[in-house]
Amino acid sequence: MALSVRPKPYFIPEYSLTGDLLAFLTCGLQYRYHNKGALPPSTPVQLWFGEFIHGVLEEAYLRWGNNFQLRRFPWKWGSDIRDIELEIDRRLRSKGLYPPPGLFCPYTTSTTSQGLCPNMNHPHKLIASQRTEAAINTWGQHLFPLISEAEVRLKGSRPMPKYKKGISRSNYYGITGVIDVISSVNLLMAPRGNLIVHNIHNHEEMQKIINNLSSQDYEIIIDYKGMRRPSFSSALWHHHEWQVLTYAWLRSQQPQSRPIVAGIIFYINELASSNEDMEQLVTDVKNNQTDIMPSGQDLQSILKWNSRKKLPSLTQPFKEQRSIRIIPVDNNSIQNSLNQFDNVVSNIESAVLSEIGGSSIVHSWPTNPQQRNCTACDFKTFCPNPAPHRYTPTVP
């Protein structure tokens, strides 16, 4: 009697938009070591602040919804915001994420040691706290009343690019993402004086999209980024656009969705810059490589600044404009972003197949040597191609 052979299980590789696709675009080899090897990064500055600001804004929204007293702005850091920060810090610690030194003071007035702070006068409003306060008081008051859903998990599937029967791992791949916030706006009842609605309605491309709407209601996808506004000539600038447009595609597949007209990215660091953020802004301004250029006093202060000086104080309208990025959503741009991510999946899949076929990790995965990423990369001492030079291992 011939025994039947059990067929191979049907398997669809699933990719997270930020955790896989954007991480691979940053550097394929680093992504491989972090994600496929499940090793956490040792200095996750970007990761910590990104998680922190997401948690704080979400908790602030919940408290705003539950407590009528908090419907007035500005919120005070000591009495309204500090408790939220400590709560989020506790949650992140339970996941193994600790604030990097100099970014956040985790202590209270009763702490009797200096810890990593400049002195014992806790709590200190260090830069992470300056940013949370600025984000809540600049955007929270306009954003919270527009929120219809927060932390929206989305999932979709697409045909596997360059599929080859018997060679490719699957004929489809899954794509997942979490939208920070979906805002719902009714054209006739849009709140007056709302800075976000004002920015949308005064954006040239947006006016055409809104005029062509067949319904009164529309949606805006919102994403918070714990970083500065990238230069428009950087790869990151495009990656963020593809991410938001892909969210728009995933959201449009949900039956309860309404027409999505725009994505908004809030670059939170623009509200309170670090020295490094300011150095990059100076470079972008000198090279004319940013879409929101300073003028008047802001321009003078930026051009005169150098890293030995105190950070310049820039005007609030300039900081607001730099911290909000509007990405109009239309079918052509969605299609383009999906094609871009198909290419990324195709590249990841071919690296996986190369490794399965016996090639070494460093030969299978592409590197993307960029000084900013490489200096903070855990794998730079054995990476074959780090920037700006090779690194030798040092004893801790």
For the bound state, the minimum distance from the C-beta of residue 31 to ligand SF4, rounded and expressed in Å, comes to 9
106-135 positions binding ligand SF4, by CB under 6 A: none
340-379 positions binding ligand SF4, by CB under 6 A: 367-369, 373-374, 377, 379
- Closer to ligand SF4 by CB, 33 or 75: give it: 33
124 contributes a contact to Zn ion by CB under 5 A = yes
201 contributes a contact to Zn ion by CB under 5 A = no
Q: Which stretch in 122-130, 158-166, 279-287, 297-305 sits in contact with Zn ion by CB under 5 A?
A: 122-130
Among 44, 177, 263, 386, binds ligand SF4 (CB under 6 A): 386
Given ligand SF4, Zn ion, none, residue 377, with its beta carbon under 5 to 8 Å by kind, binds ligand SF4
- Mapping DSSP onto H, E and C, the string for the chain reads CCCCCCCCCCCCCEEEHHHHHHHHHHCHHHHHHHHHCCCCCCCCHHHHHHHHHHHHHHHHHHHHHHCHHHHCCCCCHHHHHHHHHHHHHHHHHHCCCCCCCCCCCCCCCCCCCCCCCCCCCCCCCCHHHHHHHHHHHHHHHHHHHHEEEEEEEEEEEEECCCCCCCCCCCCEEEEEEEEEEEEEEECCCCCCCCHHHHHHHCCHHHHHHHHCCCCCEEEEEEEEECCCCCCCCCHHHHHHHHHHHHHHHHHHCCCCCCCEEEEEEEEHHHHCCCHHHHHHHHHHHHCCCCCCCCCHHHHHHHHHCCCCCCCCCCCHHHHHHHHEEEEECCHHHHHHHHHHHHHHHHHHHHHHHHHHCCCCHHHHCCCCCCHHHHHCCCCCCCCCCCCCCCCCCCCC
Residue for token pair 């930020």 = 18
Given Zn ion, ligand SF4, none, residue 88, with its beta carbon under 5 to 8 Å by kind, binds none
Contact of 248 with 263, CB cutoff 8 Å: yes
- Closer to ligand SF4 by CB, 341 or 365: give it: 365
380 contributes a contact to ligand SF4 by CB under 6 A = yes
Given ligand SF4, Zn ion, none, residue 29, with its beta carbon under 5 to 8 Å by kind, binds ligand SF4
Given Zn ion, ligand SF4, none, residue 131, with its beta carbon under 5 to 8 Å by kind, binds none
238 contributes a contact to Zn ion by CB under 5 A = no
- Closer to ligand SF4 by CB, 229 or 380: give it: 380
For the bound state, the minimum distance from the C-beta of residue 26 to ligand SF4, rounded and expressed in Å, comes to 7
14-33 positions binding ligand SF4, by CB under 6 A: 27, 29-30
- Closer to ligand SF4 by CB, 35 or 368: give it: 368
For the bound state, the minimum distance from the C-beta of residue 41 to ligand SF4, rounded and expressed in Å, comes to 10
- Closer to ligand SF4 by CB, 97 or 361: give it: 361
Q: Which long-range contacts (CB under 8 A, 24 or more apart) does 20-25 make?
A: 20/348, 21/175, 21/341, 21/344, 21/345, 21/348, 22/239, 22/243, 24/344, 24/347, 24/348, 25/235, 25/239, 25/344, 25/368
- Closer to Zn ion by CB, 108 or 216: give it: 108
User: For the CA atoms of the chain, what is the radius of gyration?
Assistant: 23
Q: Which residues pair with 355 in a beta bridge?
A: none
Question: 388: cis peptide before it, omega within 30°?
Answer: yes
- Closer to Zn ion by CB, 26 or 129: give it: 129
How many residues contact Zn ion, by CB under 5 A? 5
Given Zn ion, ligand SF4, none, residue 117, with its beta carbon under 5 to 8 Å by kind, binds Zn ion
95-114 positions binding Zn ion, by CB under 5 A: 105, 107
For the bound state, the minimum distance from the C-beta of residue 46 to ligand SF4, rounded and expressed in Å, comes to 13
- Closer to Zn ion by CB, 85 or 180: give it: 85
For the bound state, the minimum distance from the C-beta of residue 106 to Zn ion, rounded and expressed in Å, comes to 8
- Closer to ligand SF4 by CB, 340 or 385: give it: 385
35 contributes a contact to ligand SF4 by CB under 6 A = no
Binding site for Zn ion (CB under 5 A): 105, 107, 117, 122, 124
Binding site for ligand SF4 (CB under 6 A): 27, 29-30, 367-369, 373-374, 377, 379-380, 383, 385-386
